[in-house]
Amino acid sequence: MSSLKEALEQLERDLSSKELKISPYHDLPFAIFRYDPEQEFEMRKEIKLLATRLNNKGKRVYVISLANLFFEAIKNEGGKEQIIKEEKEFGFLKAQESLNTVLSDPDYSPIPDLLERKLRELNPAKDIVFLVRAGVFAPNSYRISALLDEMKGKTLVPTVLFYPGKMQGITSLKYMGMPSKGAGGSYHVNIYNR
């Protein structure tokens, strides 16, 4: 638990600083805060406390739920009934594949586009975004590493993705700690709580 607290304290210091310290990239001002999936409810509490402390220091923290974006995308493309019907007819894997298309294909409602719209009105000098509820994409409806790839150059707002997963090596993460088809996502942004 102390490493989690220490990582949260380091993140708070970096987000409170005058210069952007959470990311080495100007066009990808993202960082990942990794936590064990079984810590989900504890992290929700810690995220609220961190947001309050930062707001008290003059920052404006916006918490954006990836689960809300997930359901917004599904609603935009015919609603959950469509996915349920497809799963009943063709099985879970086909429905998950369809979800991946809805969430990532530019012809539908890709998550990066929905997120970019939410970030467009924010001020990079004052605002910070916390992306939460990333577990909604389990097991394989959307690749989180794709979100960071797609967001490159689309915002200057400092953003922290709270990521439920396990470290795999130095820069690879294992989403939700689950076995994957290949290697875990490789991330080239700062990862807090390795």
- Euclidean distance between CA atoms 20 and 129, whole angstroms: 13
Report residue 179's pLDDT band, with 50, 70 and 90 as the boundaries.
Answer: low
Q: Map out the domains of the chain with their CATH numbers.
A: 2-65+111-192 (3.40.50)
Contact by Cβ (8 Å): 61, 55? yes
Amino acid 61: pLDDT: 97
Residues β-bridged to residue 173: 167, 185
Amino acid 183: pLDDT: 45
Q: What is the mean pLDDT of residues 54-73?
A: 95
Residue predicted with more confidence, 59 or 82: 59
Query: Hunting for tokens 């739920």 — which residue is that?
Result: 65
pLDDT at 185 over 60: no
Q: In the chain, where does DSSP find H-type helix?
A: 2-16, 40-56, 66-76, 80-90, 92-104, 111-119, 144-151
Residue predicted with more confidence, 139 or 1: 139
Q: What is the mean pLDDT of residues 174-193?
A: 68
Contact by Cβ (8 Å): 162, 40? no
Q: Which residues contact 122 (CB under 8 A, 6 or more apart)?
A: 62, 129, 155, 157
**What are 118-134's pLDDT values in tens digits?**
999 999 989 999 999 99
- Euclidean distance between CA atoms 32 and 22, whole angstroms: 9
